[in-house]
Structure 1
Amino acid sequence: MLYLVSVVDDKNAPGSTDGRPDVGEFNERLISAGYWVLAGGLADPAAATVIDYRGEVPVVSDGPFVESKEYLGGVWIWDVPDLDVALKLAAEASKVCRRKLEVRPFQEPVRGQ
């Protein structure tokens, strides 16, 4: 089952980046176990561009979609057997990346051929 694991950062108390070797080791364990699909850190929300084409023409605006003290700092996508495994791994991941995580299953995953 595929899970999106969102790394939540906080502008008022950002997570430290000194745990990157720990995160790398954790990622290597995910890869070895066959759980790894994708991971990546994101640039600061100020680097975001929002595109809204629900009307007649696309509207493009700079900055994050939502102003908030908490923001999406990175993501993992894991392919694990069930929620129990995802939550166990997320607890480890939260410790190594020193941030809160949100774990959400994909409703209908689409995979490339």
Structure 2
Amino acid sequence: MKQYLLSIYQPDGPAPGPEILEPVMENLAILNDELRAAGAWVFSAGLHPPESATVLRADGDEVLLTDGPFTEGKEHLGGFTVIQADDLDEALSWGRKLATILQPLSIEVRPFAG
């Protein structure tokens, strides 16, 4: 089975309030249980806001550290799920379920190399 990364992109700014977030998190827990039962779940996690990031860039023998996200944008990687699936169609099926739960957020499905 191949492994796929399901990346969750969310808009910059504060997280939605509990009246919106709690039902989403409940449905996400149900999907994670479904992934585990199907033997597809590998790992998932949410991330701290992009301001918590540190970017490292090598330039010759020196490494420059910069606070905050690498790029400026209107959205950022908010979390991810790693799954294993027989093929892209199966991975996209799981991605559709995740996108439905997290709408209107975008989900990127990408296979791991190798």
Q: TM-score range by the shorter chain?
A: 0.7 to 0.9
Report the structure, 1 or 2, having the larger strand content.
2
Give the deviation of 1:53 after TM superposition.
2.1
Report the structure, 1 or 2, having the larger helix content.
2
Gaps of 5+ in 2: none
Change (3 A) 1:62 1:13: closer
Q: TM-score, normalised on structure 1?
A: 0.88
What does residue 35 of structure 1 align with? 40
What does residue 111 of structure 1 align with? none
Contact 1:36–1:79 (Cα < 8 Å) also in 2: yes
What does residue 108 of structure 2 align with? 102
Q: TM-score, normalised on structure 2?
A: 0.87
1:49-74 Cα distance to aligned partner (Å, 9 max, x none): 00112421111110001111011010
What does residue 3 of structure 1 align with? 4
Identity of aligned residues (%): 33
Regions of 4+ moved over 3 Å: 12-16
